[in-house]
């Protein structure tokens, strides 16, 4: 199972945080990211989950449309900025389908760090706006309660990586 963690794109100022919409630049950056990625790999995504914030929902929708994903989109309370990422991690340990989670910093970075280390005070990742981190879950060791999950980093992309990739072509 793969887990994609996507931070929302740039938002317009002025409204309350949860009502902010994406800027044209934000929409462009998400479309650029989705267009850059391997479509075959993304087709494995079974569901896209996001927080209730307008910008996060718009990020999920723009990514889905650009990547031509058929995966359904669903709002999930555990992706809210103040939600406990450790509870979400426990649910993800039980998941067996590939997911795209669209959310906020620092929660996405803390979630990734926690999945990898099980340390709740460790923050290894700073996911930039329109940035994407891919993790993979494997079976760990067998215990008296079953198999433990182990996670590994597959790759991470920031918008600046796409600029560098374009200039090298």
Give the pLDDT confidence of 55-107 residue by residue, as tens digits. 999 999 999 999 999 999 999 999 999 999 999 999 999 899 999 999 999 99
Global pTM reads: 0.91
pLDDT in tens, 128-150: 999 999 999 987 665 655 557 78
pLDDT at 147: 57
The radius of gyration computed from the CA coordinates of the chain, to the nearest angstrom, equals 16
pLDDT at 143: 60
Question: For 47, what's the count of Cα atoms within 13 Å in the CB-facing half-sphere?
Answer: 10
pLDDT at 15: 87
Helix or strand or coil: residue 77? helix
Neighbours of 32 (CB within 10 A): 15
pLDDT at 159: 86
pLDDT in tens, 4-48: 999 999 999 988 999 999 999 999 999 999 999 988 889 999 999
- The full set of domain ranges for the chain reads 2-168
**Alpha-carbon span 117 to 130, nearest angstrom:** 24
Question: Topology of 2-168 in CATH?
Answer: Rossmann fold (3.40.50)
């Amino acid at each position: 199972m793969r887990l994609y963690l996507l931070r929302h794109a740039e938002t317009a100022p002025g409204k309350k945080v949860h009502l902010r919409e994406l800027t044209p630049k934000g929409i462009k950056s998400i479309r650029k990211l989705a267009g850059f990625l391997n479509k075959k790999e993304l087709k494995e995504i079974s569901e896209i989950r996001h927080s209730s914030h307008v910008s996060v929902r718009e990020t999920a929708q723009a990514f889905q449309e650009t990547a031509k994903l058929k995966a359904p989109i669903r709002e999930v309370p555990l992706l809210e900025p103040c939600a406990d990422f450790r509870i979400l991690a426990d649910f993800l340990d039980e998941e067996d389908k590939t997911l795209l989670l669209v959310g906020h910093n620092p929660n996405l970075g803390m979630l990734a760090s926690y999945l990898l280390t099980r340390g709740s005070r460790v923050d290894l990742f700073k996911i930039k706006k329109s940035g994407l981190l891919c993790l993979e879950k494997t079976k760990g060791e067998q215990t008296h309660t079953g198999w433990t999950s182990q996670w590994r980093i597959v790759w991470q992309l920031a918008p600046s990586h796409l600029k560098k990739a374009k200039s090298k072509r």
